[in-house]
Amino acid sequence: MNTARSPAASVLHRVPGNCALIIGSADLLARRLDMVRAAGLKPALLDTDGGGSLPRGPRALPGRLHDLSGWAGAFTARLATARGPVDLAPLSYHADGHFDWVLDFSDQATCAAELPPPGYYRLAADDYPGLKRALIEIARSLREGFVKPEYLRFDAVRCLHARQGVAGCRRCLSTCPAGAIRAGSEAVHLESMLCQGCLACVPLCPTGALQSSQRQPADVMADLEARLAGGGRQAAAAPEGLWIGAPEALAEAPAGWLVWPAEAPAGLGPAIWLAALALGCRRVAIAPARPASVQRTLQDAIALAQGLLTGLGLPPAVASAADALTLPAIPALPPLPPAKLRAAGSERDLLLAALDHLAAARSAAGALPLVDAPFGEVVVEAERCTLCGACARLCPQAALSLAGVEGLTFTEARCVQCGLCANACPEQAIALRPRLLTDRSAREMPRRLVQATAPHCPGCGAPHAGPAPSTGSRVLAEQARLRPELARLLALCPECRQRAMAADLARAAPT
């Protein structure tokens, strides 16, 4: 299969082969064989009941499929056997053993993803129209090539999934209904050929590592502002509400409401919803989305938005709405002065800007406790902290810093609650506490979490940041018990410690 990028940067163009894995009972496979061949496919048959007579000619095996992976032009499959899974490569007509297409007539679907990969067709035994549509689509791809939009841009440098083997952010992993995002060693791995463009992962990413390749945040904000401005002119007042959803999920809205048909409504998350409210819209409604995992993600996001609004003393003016009749029942915000927002680099930045405006309009101050939010504080048990600096060195946002002999400081505005610091702490002295600190100046002000004791180095007499003699560190206490020389080294400043270690090595070296 040849792969090339089309002139459009966000499109992948592939020319697939014609090897098709067809799964089902022997009798059904025999009845469908002529149609499959007529579409230009070379069939490889897997008889799932094992009791029928397979037709002569095509490659065929009896058995049950263990697993299937890949996409159009690059499927691999394994057969379930008593001794474990066995590669089905010998059944393929390609030298490398891959299959280009999969037609699945089995009783139990082989592909578990809610959104199956391109090239996989789940068909009922008697679904002639569905089979016909699938074969016409495949035949067209054989003639013209297979065009797959590349829906997402991924910046691995911004991804906080892991650092130096320490686990971090996992927000997007359980969200993708197509299984296109999986854990990697440092960053997550995005498989563009599996991505179906629901964009549910985009609002979840706290750093903007995942963004739509079709529309930039500035484009979305410009669209939102144009819609709200147009609605204001027509109604001579702020819009009563904004209803967002897929085109097929929306209907005619009541007077004063604006409708925003979006091909990927899950990609317009809490940041856009609250930005709409900050810009003067009084309510935001979100139509249900499919599949089920995307709807669950939307419901979690709606709950977060409602919690933020009620925490600020405002009505929960963001809600789900399956039809136009439910729109008037959504609580409306009181009239507020409209904000002047600019498109930010990430969903989180835009969300904070909208919340700052809403909090200022209500004179709200304090800290709102949240659950699983991309902002909050880091709590450190000072008596257990040894100021080793592991948390500060790993923090990619520079929210934590070890300022010489001053101690450990924290800037809440920078923290995205990725968890790297907590997972890196050898003393397990760090915990995350999601919350919104509504006072922006307090959020941006560095504060001391752990005050350094500034012990004086026994070697040179200079003060340095280090563990206090009375530290509650379990790790240091156990290490000192097992290796008494460690306590001596830890009492030294970094420069003297290096000299002492070099001297120890020199004394231990054979003469």
Mean pLDDT across 389-401: 94
What pLDDT, on the 0 to 100 scale, is given for residue 52? 67
Does residue 89 or residue 252 have the better pLDDT?
Answer: 89
What pLDDT, on the 0 to 100 scale, is given for residue 20? 96
Residue 161 has pLDDT above 90, yes or no: yes
Quickly tell me which residue has 């209803």 as its tokens: 243
Q: Which of 100-109, 190-199, 395-404, 473-482 has the lowest mean pLDDT?
A: 473-482
Q: Which helix (H) or strand (E) holds 181?
A: strand 181-182
Residues 412-442 pLDDT 10s: 999 999 999 999 999 999 999 999 999 999 9
What pLDDT, on the 0 to 100 scale, is given for residue 235? 43
Question: Long-range contacts of range 125-130, CB-CB < 8 Å, 24 or more positions apart?
Answer: 125/24, 125/28
Best CATH choice for the domain 151-214 from the list 3.90.1150.10, 3.20.20.150, 3.20.20.120, 3.30.70.20: 3.30.70.20
Residue 111 has pLDDT above 50, yes or no: yes
- Cα gap 367→434, rounded to integer Å: 10
Q: Which of 138-142, 291-295, 306-310, 498-502 has the lowest mean pLDDT?
A: 498-502
Does residue 482 or residue 9 have the better pLDDT?
Answer: 482
- Cα gap 388→429, rounded to integer Å: 12
Residue 68 has pLDDT above 60, yes or no: yes
Residue 457 has pLDDT above 90, yes or no: no
Q: Which helix (H) or strand (E) holds 372?
A: none
pLDDT band at 493, cuts 50/70/90? confident
What pLDDT, on the 0 to 100 scale, is given for residue 7? 34
Does residue 422 or residue 57 have the better pLDDT?
Answer: 422
- Tell me the pLDDT of the chain averaged across its residues: 87
C-alpha distances in angstroms, 25 versus 71, 105, 110, 344? Answer: 23, 8, 14, 55
Contact 437, 471 (CB under 8 A): no
Domain layout of the chain by residue ranges: 2-149, 151-214, 217-364, 376-451
Same fold? 2-149, 151-214:
no
Residue 220 has pLDDT above 80, yes or no: yes
Does residue 128 or residue 232 have the better pLDDT?
Answer: 128
Cα–Cα nearest to 92, from 111, 110, 79: 79
Quickly tell me which residue has 């997007």 as its tokens: 172
Contact 293, 177 (CB under 8 A): yes
Other residues' Cβ atoms within 10 Å of the Cβ of residue 151: 21
The DSSP annotation for 150-169 comes to --EEE-TTT--SEETTEE--
pLDDT band at 267, cuts 50/70/90? very high
Cα–Cα nearest to 438, from 334, 370, 359: 359
Residue 8 has pLDDT above 50, yes or no: no
Residue 394 has pLDDT above 80, yes or no: yes
Quickly tell me which residue has 């791809």 as its tokens: 141
Reduce the DSSP state of residue 36 to 3 states and report it.
helix
- Cα gap 401→409, rounded to integer Å: 5
Quickly tell me which residue has 């496919």 as its tokens: 41
Q: Which helix (H) or strand (E) holds 400?
A: strand 400-402
Residue 469 has pLDDT above 50, yes or no: no
Q: What are phi and psi of 397, to 5 degrees?
A: -95, 0
Residue 108 has pLDDT above 60, yes or no: yes
pLDDT band at 478, cuts 50/70/90? low
Mean pLDDT across 327-342: 90
Rounded to 10 degrees, the C-alpha dihedral 380/384/388/389 comes to 0
Both tokens of 199, joined, read 């964009």
What pLDDT, on the 0 to 100 scale, is given for residue 50? 73
Whether omega before 494 lies within 30 degrees of 0, making that bond cis, reads: no
What pLDDT, on the 0 to 100 scale, is given for residue 479? 58
- Cα gap 178→393, rounded to integer Å: 35
Helix %, strand %, coil % for the chain, to 5?
30, 20, 45
Contact 386, 465 (CB under 8 A): no
What pLDDT, on the 0 to 100 scale, is given for residue 79? 94
Highest mean pLDDT among 247-261, 308-322, 448-462: 308-322
Residue 304 has pLDDT above 80, yes or no: yes
pLDDT band at 252, cuts 50/70/90? confident
Q: What are phi and psi of 125, to 5 degrees?
A: -60, -35
Name the CATH topology of 2-149: FAD/NAD(P)-binding domain (3.50.50)
- The residues, any chain, with a CB within 8 Å of residue 507's CB and separated by 6 or more, are none
Contact 493, 462 (CB under 8 A): yes
Residue 459 has pLDDT above 60, yes or no: yes
Both tokens of 218, joined, read 């500035």
Name the CATH topology of 376-451: Alpha-Beta Plaits (3.30.70)
- Cα 150–Cα 155–Cα 158 angle in degrees, nearest 5: 150
Q: What are phi and psi of 251, to 5 degrees?
A: -135, -175
Across 16-109, the runs of DSSP E, i.e. the strands, are: 19-24, 42-47, 59-62, 64-69, 76-80, 86-87, 101-104
What pLDDT, on the 0 to 100 scale, is given for residue 347? 79
What pLDDT, on the 0 to 100 scale, is given for residue 452? 76
- Cα gap 11→159, rounded to integer Å: 23
- The residues, any chain, with a CB within 8 Å of residue 25's CB and separated by 6 or more, are 47, 48, 49, 52, 105
Residue 53 has pLDDT above 90, yes or no: no
β-strand pairing of 101-104 with 120-122: parallel
Other residues' Cβ atoms within 10 Å of the Cβ of residue 378: 22
Mean pLDDT across 257-267: 93
Residue 190 has pLDDT above 90, yes or no: yes
- Cα gap 70→101, rounded to integer Å: 10
Both tokens of 449, joined, read 């979490």
